[in-house]
Structure 1
Amino acid sequence: MARRRGDRWQADVTINGKRVRRSFKTEDEAVEFEKFPLLGDFIMSRRLGSRARPQRTKYSVSLEYIAQRHFDAIWGENRDTKFIRGRLAVIFRMFGATTSVKLIDTRAVDYAIEQWLSEGLAPSTINNRLAVLSKLLKYAKRKGTIRDLPHIQRRRVNNQLERVWSESDERQAFEFLEQSGFIASREVLRFLLYTGARKGEAYLLKRSSVVDGWINFEGDTTKNGKSRQIPLVPQAREAWEKLCSMSDLEHPLAVVPINRLRYHWEQLREHFSAQRDRAFVPHMLRHTCATRLVAGGVPLPQVMKWMGHRSIQVTMRYVYVAPRDLEFAADVLSKRVTITR
């Protein structure tokens, strides 16, 4: 149990059969170390800011070394190298970039999954991170750096899409945010809903990104690496103008820091009694936008272009929301309606 020793806090844990004692500045750090020793003494010392130095003689091959030194060999044929590096950055933050691959065991992976779940991440997002970690570790095993691979349990992803907002949900959410005084966050979420932009893309938009009623997403900010333009619909335009008026920041959405938006979203989650709903995440606004486009009869190629999907197969996931599309096709064949271009 954590205990005070002078002006510091001390904690004891057993790691690999050996008792390890560490000293920390705060009680919270000591308690955290006792709760999660499974990542190993070195990993926890890195995450908690301890001055303890790792013994590099035994564990010399780090996660970062393998990922950077052999990146092309592992992911060279992957077209999304920019986002692979982004997922690697998340993995480095979780385990420690200089942590030996030999310390990444099943318990360490389980711990990471628990942490990501506690952050409310969608199963697909967690699986994407696990896929990158798995590929890195498989390469390390193939090269003889490690003997065994940890068991990596992927999260179950439902066949249906993540939850979407109805018009009633939208009204309820925005009324709650306004009444709670979260005005800027309301505008950020409204902008996301009516553009379908990914949160990361939207936060990188500059004031100069909106010209003559069009939003310009530059290729270096998009997931597929391609630039795209979409018209600014009235609801998104109003949200954008309000956000621009709230500060002089070059990136208007940055008026609401990500951490603050996350906190306000958690308040919204509680308001909807969705604490246990893993699908209730900000990314659902993007799904809502795509769902409304498909349900409204917008052709899939146009939806694909609007959303910035890499392939039409991704867009096809939304077809299930338009059950009358075959009836429309039948009307075309029977000449009851005419398609105009």
Structure 2
Amino acid sequence: MGAIRAKGKRFQADLRTPNGARLRPTFETHDEADHWLRLTQEKIRTGQDISLDVAQNTRAIAMNLRDLAEEVRNRHWRGCKSEDTLWIQARDVYRRLGASRSVREINENVIDDLIYQLERDGKSNGTINRRLAALSKMLKHGYRRGYISRMPVIERKRESEGRMRWLSYDEEQVLIAKFRELRQDQMADFIEVLIDTGLRTGELFKLCGRDVNAEERVVYLWDTKNGKSRSVPLTQRAMDALQRNHKIDSSLPLFAFTRHAFRHQWDLVKSLIGLDGDKEFVPHSLRHTCATRLVEKGIDLRVIQEFLGHRAIQTTIRYAKVVPKSLHAARDALELSDHGVTKRA
């Protein structure tokens, strides 16, 4: 009524049900296959319903990478902020490995081949890791649903922290002046707010008049990257910039231009001020500028973490590593401390 056969390095149980359906799940060990076979035979002998076993086995055999990606999207990613990005990652994975390829074929060798393809196409380690993360999510879902009998080992690529770019005060003045010279005053205001608050561009684009408390000089952010709302105090310059863009309808965003329009104008101004070849000179560098200036002023890292809305303190610590002044201050504090030891002349 049932049998177990070696299939490569794994073992396949083979069982035909009374109604003619054939179940052939694959297991890592002979004992696992034997356990499943005995359990299912007992269900049949005692008249228990095995329709779920049949359906699951049939679906597992038929499950391919594209169907798995779509199932993960609907089950885990639908409606989340990163849905489109995650789907792009997953879609690239199944297109490279084969959309109709069985999920059961995915092992370490197949994953190595995926990494090779991505490296051959010049993808960075960070990009490769994003693809591997999407594949890992898909396979974990498949493992929990019984589509695969084991979870392949996925080794991520090592990522460097990369260069962190921020603006000097001179660069800031030149940048803002050029925007105003081109009569892009609203975008110049946008930049001033980003520098003085450290907001992400996406957070500022969502900011409405009702989110600004002029009396307390603070903005309230309800929809943030880490999912936690926070309030950010405003400098007078940032407050003035927001008030210049205040709408009669407080439910409308303060800045009416699109992200595409801002990025287009940014790239134009970047070229005009002679920074066209600086790949790190991007809008997000304004957030880096705010963070590094706070570190330079000696603000406690925990305060900076809360101010910027970092989920982990490790993200904030990166700024302390790249601001020499803060390291020098630590040295000077030790030099000036009185430990009862006479300093050498």
Letter in 1 for 2:194: L
SS in 2 for 1:164: coil
CA deviation profile, 1:170-197 (whole Å, cap 9, x unmatched): 0111111111222211111211111101
Give, in whole Å, the separation in 2 of the partners of 1:181 and 1:124: 40
Instruction: Label 1:193 to 1:239 Cα distance change in 2 as closer, same or farther (>3 A).
Output: same
Q: Which moved more, 1:167-176 or 1:201-210?
A: 201-210
Number of residue pairs aligned between Structure 1 and Structure 2? 255
CA deviation profile, 1:97-133 (whole Å, cap 9, x unmatched): 9x888439949x859x88xx9xxxxx79857743542
Name the counterpart of 2:262.
261
Letter in 2 for 1:215: V
Name the counterpart of 2:110.
none
Give, in whole Å, the separation in 2 of the partners of 1:300 and 1:66: 38
TM-score by length of 1: 0.61
Instruction: Label 1:265 to 1:127 Cα distance change in 2 as closer, same or farther (>3 A).
Output: farther
Name the counterpart of 1:136.
137
CA deviation profile, 1:249-279 (whole Å, cap 9, x unmatched): 7343441111111111211332344444332
Give, in whole Å, the separation in 1 of the partners of 2:277 and 2:155: 23
Kindly indicate whether residue 91 of structure 2 is the aligned counterpart of residue 89 of structure 1. Answer: no
**Out of 325, 328, 338, which is 1:324 matched to?**
328
Deviation at 1:233, TM superposition (A): 0.4
Deviation at 1:308, TM superposition (A): 1.2
Contact 2:210–2:250 (CA under 8 A) maintained in structure 1: no
Give, in whole Å, the separation in 1 of the partners of 2:277 and 2:293: 25
Contact 2:199–2:287 (CA under 8 A) maintained in structure 1: yes
Give, in whole Å, the separation in 1 of the partners of 2:265 and 2:155: 32
Instruction: Label 1:276 to 1:140 Cα distance change in 2 as closer, same or farther (>3 A).
Output: farther
Larger Rg belongs to: 2
Instruction: Label 1:232 to 1:95 Cα distance change in 2 as closer, same or farther (>3 A).
Output: same
Give, in whole Å, the separation in 1 of the partners of 2:156 and 2:173: 38
Give, in whole Å, the separation in 1 of the partners of 2:185 and 2:157: 37
SS in 2 for 1:61: helix
SS in 2 for 1:215: strand
Deviation at 1:92, TM superposition (A): 2.8
TM-score by length of 2: 0.60
Contact 1:67–1:136 (CA under 8 A) maintained in structure 2: no
**Out of 69, 77, 87, which is 1:63 matched to?**
69
Give, in whole Å, the separation in 2 of the partners of 1:289 and 1:88: 29
1:122-133 equivalent positions in 2, closer than 5 A = 126=127, 129-130=130-131, 132-133=133-134
SS in 2 for 1:178: helix
Letter in 1 for 2:327: P
Percent sequence identity over aligned pairs: 24
SS in 2 for 1:305: helix
